[in-house]
Amino acid sequence: MDSDESGKQYWAANIRLVTVLLAIWAFVSFGMGILLRPMLMGIKVGGVDLGFWMAQNGSIYVFLILIFVYAVMMNGIDRQFNVDEE
Amino acid sequence: MDLKTMTYIIVGATFALYIGIAFWARAGSTGEFYAAGRGVNPIANGMATAADWMSAASFISMAGLIAFQGYQGAKFLMGWTGGYVLLALLLAPYLRKFGKFTVPEFIGDRFYSRTARLVGVLCLITISITYVIGQMKGVGVAFSRFLDLPYETGLYVGMAIVFLYAVLGGMKGITYTQIAQYCVLITAYTIPAVFISMNLTGNPLPQLGLIGNETSSGMPMIAKLNETIQAIGFGAYDGDPPSYLDMLLYTITLMIGTAGLPHVIIRFFTVPKVSDARWSAGWALVFIALLYTVAPAVGAMARYNVTNTIWPNGVQSEPVAIDNLPQWFQNWETTGLLKYEDKNGDGKIQFYNEKSPAMQAMAQEKGWQGNELTKFDRDIMVLANPEIADLPNWVIALVAAGGLAAALSTAAGLLLAISSSISHDLMKGILTPNISESGELLAARIAMAGAIAVAGYFGLNPPGFAAQVVALAFGLAASSIFPVLMMGIFSKRINNHGAILGMVAGIGVTLAYIFAYKGMFFIPGTAIFPASTPEHWIMGVSPEAFGCIGAVVNFIVAYVVSAATSAPPQHIQDLVESIRVPRGAAAAVDH
The tens digit of pLDDT for each residue in B158-171 reads 888 888 888 888 88
- Position B376: which residue type? F
Q: What is the pLDDT of residues B269-281, one digit of tens each?
A: 989 999 999 999 9
Domain spans, chain B: 3-301+388-588, 312-376
Range of the domain at A47: 4-80
Task: Check residue B465 and give its pLDDT.
Answer: 54
Regions of chain A short of the pLDDT cut 70 = 1-3
Of chain B, the end-to-end C-alpha distance in Å amounts to 55
For chain A, give the number of residues: 86
For the domain made up of B3-301+388-588, give the CATH fold.
Sodium/glucose cotransporter (1.20.1730)
Q: Does B77 touch chain A (CB under 8 A)?
A: yes
Residue B530: CA count within 13 A, CB half-sphere: 3
Q: Are the CB atoms for B517 and B536 separated by under 8 Å? A: yes
B83 in contact with chain A, both atoms CB, cutoff 8 A: no
| B5, B84, B87, B408, B545 from B256: Cα distances, Å | 44, 9, 9, 24, 11
Distance, in Å, from the CA atom of B463 to the CA atom of B460, rounded to the nearest integer, reads 9
What confidence score (pLDDT) does residue B589 get? Answer: 47
pLDDT digits (tens, 9 = 90+) for B12-45: 999 999 988 888 888 788 888 888 888 888 999 9
pLDDT in tens, B228-269: 999 999 999 999 998 899 999 999 999 999 999 999 999 999
Q: Which residues of B touch A37 (CB under 8 A)?
A: 244
Domain-located, residue A86: no
Report residue B240 CA to chain centroid gap: 25
* Domain contains A85: no
Q: pLDDT value at position B228?
A: 93
Cβ(B436)–Cβ(B226) below 8 Å: no
- Widest pairwise Cα distance in chain B: 81
**Does the CB of A20 have a partner CB in chain B at under 8 Å?**
no
- Give chain A's domain count: 1
Give the whole-angstrom CA distance, residue B120 versus residue B102: 10
Q: Rounded to an integer, what distance in angstroms lies between the CA atom of residue A11 and that of residue A8?
A: 5
The A residues from 41 to 80 touching B (CB cutoff 8 Å) are 45-49, 52-53, 55-57, 59-61, 63-64, 66-68, 70-71, 74-75, 78
Average pLDDT over residues B404-410: 90
Contacts of A31 (CB under 8 A, 6+ apart): none
Q: Tell me: the pLDDT tens digits for B205-216? A: 999 999 999 998
Beta partners for B419?
none
Contact, B478 vs B530, CB < 8 A?
no
- Span B414-455, pLDDT tens digits: 999 999 999 998 888 888 888 888 899 999 999 999 999 988
Residues above pLDDT 70, as percent of chain B? 97
**Among B119-123, B294-298, B460-464, where is mean pLDDT lowest?**
B460-464
Does residue B242 belong to the interface with chain A, where contact is any CB pair within 8 Å? no
List the single residue in B207, B212, B247 with the smallest CB-CB distance to A57: B207
Mean local confidence (pLDDT), B310-328: 87
Angle at B93 between CA B249 and CA B499, to 5 degrees: 60
A63 to chain B, closest Cα gap in Å: 6
Which residues on A lie below 8 Å from B280 (Cβ)? none
CB-based contact B99:B421 (threshold 8 Å): no
Distance from CA of B54 to the nearest CA of A (A): 15
Q: Yes or no: say if A10 and A83 are a contact pair by the CB < 8 Å rule.
A: yes
**CA-based diameter of chain A, in Å?**
56
Phi-psi region of B260 (alpha: psi -120 to 50; beta: other; left: phi over 0): alpha
